[in-house]
């Protein structure tokens, strides 16, 4: 019984640690890829956002982001905005980011919502 509990606890700790690592990787990817348009807090107010006539997505809006599943966000990042009916301003990142980086980025972006 104690052995099973200990093994379960170790598995939970490893899983939790992997989530933290993914979030850290996501933060680095976000800073290198997304920050210039979406801004530090994901509000769509990054330095490059001024180049676009239309507003950029507010990634920090819990209500706005609730309608997108992780799979939707992965597709959006990988294939670009039109892949899920959004603006072509959101360029595809497939070939620029790995699948693991895209998953980490989705996890990070979900953490921006308040």
Instruction: Note the pLDDT tens digit of each residue in 18-71.
Output: 444 444 699 999 999 999 999 999 999 999 999 998 888 899 999 999 999 999
For 28-42, letters b (16+ CB in 10 Å) and e give ebbeebbbebbbeeb
| 52 neighbors 44 (Cβ within 8 angstroms) | no
- Nearest CA to 96 out of 108, 72, 80 is that of 80
- Nearest CA to 25 out of 104, 80, 95, 110 is that of 104
Percentage of the chain beyond pLDDT 70 is: 79
Q: What is the pTM of this model?
A: 0.76
Residue 13: band (very low, low, confident or very high) from pLDDT cuts 50, 70, 90:
very low
Go through the chain and tell me how many residues it has: 114
Q: What is the pLDDT of residue 2?
A: 56
**Mean pLDDT, the chain, as a whole number?**
84
Better-scored residue on pLDDT, 94 or 4: 94
Question: In angstroms, rounded to a whole number, what is the distance separating the alpha carbons of residues 3 and 17?
Answer: 21
């Amino acid at each position: 019984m104690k052995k099973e509990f200990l093994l379960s606890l170790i598995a939970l700790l490893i899983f939790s640690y992997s989530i933290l690592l993914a979030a850290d990787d996501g933060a680095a990817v976000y800073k290198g890829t997304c920050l210039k348009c979406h801004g530090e807090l994901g509000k769509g107010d990054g330095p490059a956002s001024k180049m676009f006539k239309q507003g950029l997505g507010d990634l920090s809006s819990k209500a706005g982001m609730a309608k997108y599943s992780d799979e939707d966000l992965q597709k959006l990042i990988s294939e670009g905005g039109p892949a899920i009916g959004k603006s072509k301003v959101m360029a595809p990142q497939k070939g620029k980011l790995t699948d693991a980086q895209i998953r980490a980025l989705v996890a990070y972006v979900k953490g921006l919502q308040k």
